[in-house]
Amino acid sequence: MEYELKTPLTNNDINKLEAGDTVYLTGKIYTARDSAHKRIIEEGAPIDLEGVVLFHAGPIIKKEEDNYNIVAIGPTTSMRMNPYEPEVLSMGVKAIIGKGGMDENTQKALVDNNCVFLTAVGGCAALYVNSINNVDSVNWLDLGMPEAIWELDVEKFGPLIVTMDSKDNNLYKRD
């Protein structure tokens, strides 16, 4: 199936998604990599995580006067977030976007918290930029541009593939 979903995501949104489905997102998504995940756990999130989509990405950003413009944004390897992801998912996050899959602890957290893992296609960094309307804010810029949490206003962001669903299905582990 193919779905166009609006963020923040709800349990009803997640319940209909199954491994193999294609998703396009409209609304807000947030980038978060290793350092941001670690700080969220240590200090609390600078944003309300309820229904949020976190994108494991380190965007290339150009600052022009008071605005930030994204030049490219592609997924980073999600397994780097494995030590932090189960706890972050328990804070209300409904979907994570990345590449390469995640471990059994994160798979269990996806099921326990009714969340999904969406795979973004590597090599499509320029394509994904076309779906970004605006950079609305940035948090924790002291971590550096790739590690900061960027709030992105997106329209039909995708295609994204449901790779690990809330029903314990995982395309990376199919027989």
Give 70-127 pLDDT, tens digit per residue. Answer: 988 989 999 999 999 999 999 999 999 999 989 999 999 999 999 999 999 877 767 7
CA distances from 132 to 45, 80, 156, 159 (A): 23, 25, 9, 13
Q: Which helix (H) or strand (E) holds 64?
A: strand 60-64
Q: Could you tell me the residue range of the domain that residue 77 belongs to?
A: 2-167
Query: Residue 173 domain-assigned?
Result: no
Catalytic residue list contains 56: no
Query: pLDDT, tens digit, for every residue of 30-85?
Result: 999 999 999 999 999 999 999 999 999 989 999 888 889 898 898 999 999 999 99
Query: Residue 175 domain-assigned?
Result: no
Q: Any idea what the CATH number is for the domain that residue 84 is in?
A: 3.20.130.10
Lowest mean pLDDT among 18-22, 70-74, 142-146, 164-168: 70-74
Query: Residue 97 domain-assigned?
Result: yes
CA distances from 75 to 10, 79, 94, 126, 129 (A): 23, 12, 17, 12, 12
Query: Residue 95 domain-assigned?
Result: yes
How many distinct structural domains can be found in the chain?
1
Q: How far is CA 110 from the centre of its chain?
A: 13
pTM: 0.95
Query: Residue 74 domain-assigned?
Result: yes
DSSP per-residue codes, 141-165:
GGG-TTTSEEEEEEEEEEEEEEEE-
CA dist 45 and 49 (Å) reads: 7
CA dist 19 and 36 (Å) reads: 27
Query: Residue 174 domain-assigned?
Result: no
Out of 13, 19, 33, 37, pick the active-site residue: 37
